[in-house]
Structure 1
Amino acid sequence: MTDEQASTDKDEHKGSWAKLSLVALGVVYGDIGTSPLYAMRECFQAEHAVAASHDHVLGVLSLIFWALAIVISTKYLIFILQADNEGEGGILALAALVSSNDTQNEYRRWVIFTLGLLGGSLLYADGMITPAISVLSAVEGIEVATPALDHFVEPITIAILIGLFLFQKRGTASVGTVFGPVMMIWFAVLAGMGIFQLIQAPQVLTAINPVYAIRMLSENGLAGYLVLGSVFLVVTGGEALYADMGHFGKQPIRISWYYVVLPSLLLNYFGQGAFLLRNPEGAVNPFYLMAPGWALYPLVLLSTIATVIASQAVITGAYSLTLQAIQLGYSPRTTIRHTSAEQIGQIYIPLINWTLMFACIGLVLGFRSSNNLAAAYGVAVTITMVITTVLFFLLTRMRWNWPLPLALTVSGIFLVVDLSFLGANLFKISNGGWFPLLVAGAAYTLMSTWMSGQRLLARRIRERALSVELFIADLMNDPPRRVPGIAVFMTGNPVGTPPALRRNVRHNKVLHEQVVFLTVTTASVPHVRLAKRVEFEEIGEGFFRIQISYGFMDSPHIPLTLATIPTDQLNLQGEDVTYFLGTERLLATERPGMAMWRERLFAWMARNAQPATAYFYLPPDQVIEIGSQVEL
């Protein structure tokens, strides 16, 4: 390769990173990028706030600076982003990565998956609060511009949220390219507002000294500690940042943070601090009050657009989380629509969409202001961050083989910070923090019940299963009539005979010329290459065994996958292929397994799950379902 070619490739690589970094601004940093709307205000206006005195302003700014430096710049950007599952991030992907090497210790695997489930459940709660508090805090700027319009804040907020969720079925691909440039303008405005105030009170920059943060915590007792619950609002987008890694890669996310997002956020927070040093009474809404009067309405409009973009990122994250949960066996199948032919990650899940919409509207009507919502915000994310740190420690020991002292030191520092924020946020529970915990508890109950129920159902079916070899041998002693065509029996047990096959032979007295036992599994990696996706085995007497393995971010399209099998023995693309599915009617019993109420809940979830025909893209006119009754 010549020097000129190397230079060209390097320039193209930089150009690709620059483009991805720009787009990442609109997806990855929407949540954390709109925190200046309410974070600083809550430190001086929330129930456990402190007065906006000179020392308190500097102390809060110092806490904000070091929170961003330790939690985001160091923990997530340097360490957690290294914990990628073949490029994918997020707490479920991390749990799958940690457990993938541990095939011996069943109890440890259970603990890891439980932590992943709990973290995922908490993120659903965060996905409900983020759009509500973000849009509401932006629209509240109307109160600052024209106080007489304050009674229009809630209706406008609800109208924007309804429009946002109605738009989801169209997909985000068409507007995704404008998110980055709009957020670039947003961060430029944040920086500009901050610089204008800093020029008038540059002494506020001394708050970078950690001594101010230490004094804030040591000299104010419990009040100084509880303000951490509001300071935490500046880092609430950390988990979203990690979850969206698979869309852009590590380097563009880091470039966006260090060169654009972090400087803009710090300039704005310190600008708000400079404004409060001169106008302590402005603590009621320092973000809007420090703007010149002529800029208020344009700023409200830009803030609203920015919060809609931030909300879009959270909603998309909820879709991705649900897809991972379904593929990993934590959630029943539900309707998933792909909204882009080019990008597999562009999906729309109606059930999640409408659940989030009604939850957001309920939060706006119930809490009525972003101040009240801030009391509920942060509890779920802090617990998720603690879980992420614990899983990261397990990863460093089980996969990366770090020495114990090093793993304990790095994870221990992060855990101390996380637990400090968690302790402060626990005081919010009675003021609204109960809501995300309630949502997370409900989501965890559903997902853990589904996972446990699936295992129990598989065990019950195995108890009655007959090995394939014994079944074929017995069948050949008195062979039934063979009919033309290929019968594909889907089964979760690759070594047992599918109950649907035994019933078909028993009642219809016929057997297809070629019979395929098809098992679909999900690997603990996001994607499985086509070359390694299918295992094919000929058993004999016209019987075949096929095992398909998908990644937890792959689309399980069975007909397309079967078409890739390189064999002349089976033509699985023709219309003479019939798919036989076993549908079980589940009955809750007193047998040892799960609690009666959980068995009933699992049976209800199974009845309402999306049919396998649609989920696996099976042709409806080539599917036969054979039912049976199973006592749990």
Structure 2
Amino acid sequence: MMDLPPPLCPDDEIFREKVQKKKTWKQEILLSFQIVGVVYGQLSTAPLYVFGTMDAGALASEEVVYELFSFIFWTLTIISLLKYASIVLKADDKGEGGTFALYSLLCRNAKVCLLPSDRSANQIMNCEGRTPSKIRARRVIEKSKICHYLLLFLALFGSCMAIGDAVLTPALSDPSSRRARESDTVSNALRRYVTVPAACVILVGLFMLQNCGTRKIGFMFAPIISAWLLFIGVVGIYDIFHWDVKIIYKISPVYVFKFIRNFNYHRWKLLGSIILCVGGSEAMFADLGHFSKKSIKITFICLIYPILVLCYAGQAAYISRNLGARDFNHFSQSIPRHYCKHVFIILSPLASAVGSQATITASFSIIKQCLALNCFPRVKVIHTSKTIHGQIYIPDVNWLLMILSLTVTISFRDMVKIGYAAGLAIICGMLVTTSLMSLIISLCWEKNLSVSACFLLCFGFVEAVYLSACLLQIHKGAWYLLVLLTMTMTIMLSWHYGTVKKYEFDMQNKVSTEWLVDVSPGLGIARVPGIGFIYTDIVAGIPAFFSHFITNLPAFHQVLIMVSFKSMPVPYVSEGERYLIGRIGPKDYKIYRCIVRYGYCDHIRDTGDFEEHIIRSIGEFISIEERDIESVDAATATNERMIVVGNSSTTHGHNNALVPLDAYEGPAVNNESQISPVPDTEGTSKKKRKKVRFMLPVNSPKIMQPCVRKELLDLIDARESGSAYFLGQSHLVVRDGSNFLKRFLIMVYRFSEKNCREPPVALKIPHAALVEVGMVCTI
């Protein structure tokens, strides 16, 4: 007999707590190291092009340089340090960040969501507790449809800016380092090799590394950015002491007021270059799902921010003393000669390539959120980490970003023009975050309206000034961002519009449950063995495509399960709240409804054992339906009884209605009706697949009523007989006489639908068991 370990003494418990804390701090340190190579690459490489994109003729005196340095310091302090690191990072949605994370918080707290959702699911998932002082403010927003559309537009607009930044920053970073190297008299041979084709090769290599995952990329890129930060920090300190020690005193806001006092058109345009110094700050929040809040904040405050201040101070000190030199405003000119020049030539192309990683990673997170909320065409999402769910890779988006970035690099060949477009993308994304954050402060944090207004006015005014400066350069390169914005916004709006119209068509053409109960005897419908999974977007009634199917072919399976996927405005849905099970019609019909709820960061549809989860959930529903009737709520308009299955507080621990046997590994077959052990007589060329079988618990006669036991046995028999899967294929057709806008949106939606991936639920279904029923939706 095995000896049990002695109980823990207080000293052992204290030791275990210390070990756990030590492990946590080790994880934070490890994440902080990875963050340097992923999140802060763009901020760290900004010194390559901030002063370099300024018109050298505008830097006419030392005072102007001091004023610009003061502007850079306070911009970095106000936007990056104060706004993002101190305030915005606190507005995470259960560890997720980005524009749609803010939008999801508003959807849950102000009911502004325009996405199709289930009312009962929202009531279960959302907290209804609100303080009386804020009810009036919420009611104004909830009742205004204009506010709903405006907030959705802001969320999509901010997402488009993040995608545009992911296209422009890789194209900006490498040309900036190339121009900095070419501005130096190194050698003609080096200039000959550092050309646009070389930049394209670097970009292709960068995007090809994305499939390695955030963790591996972080470990690969972190040493490069760390070495770069150490290099520019040392160079900054050297330039400060060598050229102008008093440059540190120039951070005084007095120089900002001097700059404003002598404000003119040329100085106004310089603000479009200054805003580049905070490029990548938005990625601190958008990449939050890939890392932790504490590690992002600690790394920025303790490492990134002080090094950047020293670097810009050293660069300003050099420029103020060398106004007559050639290319004096380029970062390479402030590098000391001899060995430091060679280090710069090696580090700058590597750091500049890595610098765009933050925007690429952020675009993956943003598109994943848009995808889950039906605002982006279906693409394949690969989760690269088993422990951190936010670390993802999207191949289709990655290659599209690569093509667009290469197009920018080859077409423009000028970092100044690319910098104008990147600056506009950066400041527009920041303005969207500021607008949504002001609502978060009032509606979610329940602060006084004056606090929300102060946040909006203070940060919004600063960013609006920079926006006006960027708009002056639209004709010089920023127009390309408008082209990207038009493309991405059209795709997102058309996909959202088409999804909503299809859902409304299904809701208008659904048939009641009574139709199936009353009409089926008259049609002579036969019940065939097995389980029929009917995938539909509606959560009440019978979908129109299925009624169309059984009207023309009067037969369906002995067990029917209506499965609906519902995206919730939360990042994750726990296993205990994921499945909402109900019954349709009398018990003899054995028709069930399963609503699968998932967050915008869940990947529930990718699980291979998804069907087994549904079977177990229905078995649990059957076992607790009679015993725990008080937990059953009226969830839909048809009074279908729904239960949240898997919640221990609801089921009282009775979750063993069906016991799975060991997974059986048998030959793959075209039809899933054969799951009994069959020898593979045709060789081993066919793929193996695992199938879970179920049985009742041994003591089931003692704990189950006879009717419950019989229904569970019928479910097991149907499972043994096999499964069929019904999918509705709705084709949108525009009604004659519709306006051009509607026709254009539907045309784009149909094009995107034909070229995107199949619905995830259909990817792992055997073709012989899949039945697709087509319907024409006239809108």
Tell whether the structures are fold-level matches, with TM greater than 0.5.
yes
5 Å matches for 1:43-62?
Answer: 43-45=54-56, 50-62=58-70
Among candidates 141, 151, 156, match of residue 117 of structure 1: 156
Q: Distance in 1 between matches of 2:295 and 2:529?
A: 56
Q: Confirm whether residue 560 of structure 1 aligns to residue 600 of structure 2.
A: no
* Distance in structure 2 (CA, Å) of the matches to 1:119 and 1:256: 25
CA shift digits 1:406-434 (9 cap, x unpaired): 21112211111111111111111110111
2:443 maps to: 398
Mapped contact 1:141–1:296 kept (Cα < 8 A) = no
Residue 18 in 1 paired to residue 61 in 2?
Answer: no
CA deviations on 1:223-281 (whole Å, 9 max, x unpaired) are 22321111100001111111011222211111101111001111110010111122222
Q: 1:23 to 1:483 in 2, by over 3 A?
A: same
Could you tell me how far apart the structure 2 residues matched to 1:285 and 1:221 are? 21
Alignment partner for residue 247 of structure 2, among 204, 212, 233?
204
Aligned pair 1:160/2:202, yes or no? yes
Contact 2:509 2:543 in 1 (8 A): no
Q: Please show how residues 113-152 of structure 1 align to structure 2 within 5 Å.
A: 113-143=152-182, 144-146=184-186, 148=188, 149-151=190-192, 152=194
Distance 1:401 1:379, change over 3 A: same
Query: Secondary structure at the residue paired with 1:334?
Result: coil
What is the CA-CA distance between 1:447 and the residue it aligns to? 0.5
User: Does 2:576 match 1:536?
Assistant: no
1:270 has 2:313 as partner: yes
State the shift of 1:4 in Å. 5.6
Decide whether the 8 Å contact of 1:139 with 1:156 is kept in 2.
no
Where do 1:152-551 residues align within 5 Å?
152-200=194-242, 201-280=244-323, 281=325, 283-291=327-335, 292-340=337-385, 343-539=388-584, 540=587, 541-551=589-599
* Alpha-carbon separation, structure 1, partners of 2:334 and 2:590: 78
Superimposed CA distance per residue, residues 112-133 of structure 1 (whole angstroms, 9 cap, x where no aligned partner): 1111011111111111100011
Relative to 1, partners in 2 of residues 1:485 and 1:126: Cα closer, same or farther, differing over 3 Å?
A: same
Q: Which amino acid aligns with 1:550?
A: Y
1:607 counterpart = 2:646: no
Counterparts of 2:213 and 2:719, CA distance in 1: 31
1:503 offset after TM fit, Å? Answer: 2.9
- State which drifts further: 600-609 or 439-448: 600-609
- Asked whether the equivalents of residues 519 and 547 of structure 1 are also in contact (C-alpha less than 8 Å), the reply is yes
Q: How many positions carry a matched residue from both structures?
A: 629
Give the whole-Å Cα distance in 2 for the aligned partners of 1:214 and 1:573.
76
Structure 2 distance, partners of 1:231, 1:257, is 19
Partners of 2:66 and 2:250 within 8 A in 1: yes
Shift of residue 591 of structure 1?
A: 6.3
Q: Does 1:596 align with 2:743?
A: yes
Distance (whole Å) between structure 1 residues aligned to residue 265 and residue 744 of structure 2: 43
Greater Rg over alpha carbons, structure: 2
Q: C-alpha displacement at 1:78, in angstroms?
A: 1.0
Change (3 A) 1:573 1:317: farther
Flag the 1:232–1:613 CA change in 2: closer, same or farther, 3 A.
closer
Distance 1:293 1:467, change over 3 A: farther
Give me the whole-angstrom Cα distance separating, in 1, the residues matched to 2:94 and 2:727.
33
Give a deviation string over 1:335-387, Cα, whole Å, max 9, x none.
33444556544433333122211211111111112223212221122111111
* Distance in 2 separating the partners of 1:206 and 1:615: 64
**545-554 or 153-162, which moves further after superposition?**
153-162
Contact 1:140–1:153 under 8 Å retained in 2: no
Give the structure with the larger helix fraction: 1
CA distance in 1, matches of 2:257, 2:720: 72
| Offset of residue 283 of structure 1 | 4.6
Displacement of 1:9 after TM fit?
4.3
Task: Report the 3-state secondary structure (helix = DSSP H, G, I; strand = E; otherwise coil) of the residue aligned with 1:563.
Answer: helix
Residue-by-residue CA offset, 1:156-188 (whole Å, 9 max, x unaligned): 101111222233345454343232233222211
Distance 1:5 1:339 in 2: 30
Distance 1:82 1:158, change over 3 A: same
Q: State how far apart, in whole Å, the 2-side matches of 1:214 and 1:73 are.
A: 21
Note if contact 2:371-2:377 (Cα within 8 Å) is conserved in structure 1: yes
Name the stretch that deviates more: 278-287 or 537-546: 278-287
Q: Compute the displacement of 1:141 (Å).
A: 3.8
Contact 1:154–1:365 at 8 Å: present in 2 too?
yes
Indicate yes or no: 2:122 matched with 1:80.
no
Aligned-partner residue type, residue 79 of structure 1: I
Given the superposition, is the C-alpha separation of residues 134 and 486 from structure 1 closer, same or farther in structure 2, using an over 3 Å criterion?
Answer: same
Larger deviation, residues 83-92 vs 394-403: 394-403
Q: Which runs of 5+ in 1 are unaligned?
A: none
Q: Distance in 2 between matches of 1:615 and 1:122?
A: 32
More divergent stretch after superposition (232-241 vs 558-567): 558-567
Q: Normalising by structure 2, report the TM-score.
A: 0.77
Distance 2:506 2:288 in 1: 39
Point out which structure has higher relative CO (alpha carbons under 8 A, 6+ apart). Answer: 1
Query: Closer, same or farther in 2 for the Cα pair 1:253/1:340, shift >3 Å?
Result: closer
Find the aligned partners of 2:390 and 2:483 in 1 and give their Cα distance: 29
Aligned to 2:53, which of 39, 42, 63? 42
Pick from 71, 76, 80: which aligns with 1:68?
76
Q: Partner letter of residue 73 of structure 1?
A: L
The amino acid across from 2:725 in the alignment is Y
SS in 1 for 2:736: coil
